[in-house]
Structure 1
Amino acid sequence: MIVLNDLWTDLFDQPITPLEENMMEGIVGHVDESDSVIVLAAIIVHMLTKVLLQDPASPFVIASTLTKSIKDLEVSLNVIRREAGNLHVYLSELRGDAEITRQTLKLARMVAKERRQIPPPVLKLDPNTGHSEWEHTLAPNAMRQIYVATIFASLVGGTVVTLLINLFTG
């Protein structure tokens, strides 16, 4: 009985690999053990596995590398597709925000244009009293609302200040 590991160590100074051992067991089953064909088969099997499986330039290594690269590219492509979908959502949201900004700017321009058309207040003398007073371009109703809001704010502010003083001193 031939011990393949000893044959490999004698011929190549290295142990037999599992693939080489499987191939050689198949060959040994078909030929006579004492035949010199086993040595030739060992050399051919070793050279084939070395050239086809261990050499970086072998077609099998290249095919394996290409397969791994294709799988990596598929993963990257899936990530890119997912991010492109997210980008589409973000861009549509950004378009909506841009439209809101455009409308706001349009409204601000209209308000600014209306403001430029309002004449500034003029200081004039009251002929009856001789005192100076501002002539307002606002409607009397708007002036009344400003006065009421001012009085209300001063009352609320005074009340809050009084409560705070009582709270901290009392």
Structure 2
Amino acid sequence: VFTGERLTAADTRHCVNSISMKFARPTADGQYYCDKGWEHFNVGQYEKAIGFYSIAINHIQPGPWEGQCYHRRGWSYAKLKQHQQAIQDYDHAIGLDPEYDLAYSHRGQSHAVLGEHQQAIQDYDQAISLDSAYELAYSHRGQSYAAIGQHQRAIQDYDRAIMLEPD
């Protein structure tokens, strides 16, 4: 109970630390570990991110976080150029949420890097069917069309991407 007395800097630090520890405590559902993985991903620490996502996946309860953890771990693998592992995680994320457009697009990117442009195009098609304004999916699909010599289709996709995101 606040009595009107001024708090010292040490009291304030103690309160902030206590509150931070309460809310930073790992949860049984793994969401905490998924968040920690995302923090490491965002600063380019992909190996650490994979470790946290793996812990999250082992502790997570079924729900929206589950697919997101698999997707983000896959994205971390892709950043490390481990595209086969990335594809496996994207597959799992899509299995949990068949409308996860970003997982389709990222899986398409991994297929494209591996030279599997037909599979990449199928993934981009699916991402676009889920979000017709997904500019990057059009751009990446255009790259895959160009890689297999379908230049007219590539140009159409590039034009659509530019129309959606002119800057």
Give the TM-score of the pair, scaled to structure 2. 0.19
Q: Which has the higher contact order (CA 8 A, sep 6+)?
A: 2
| Bigger share in strand | 1
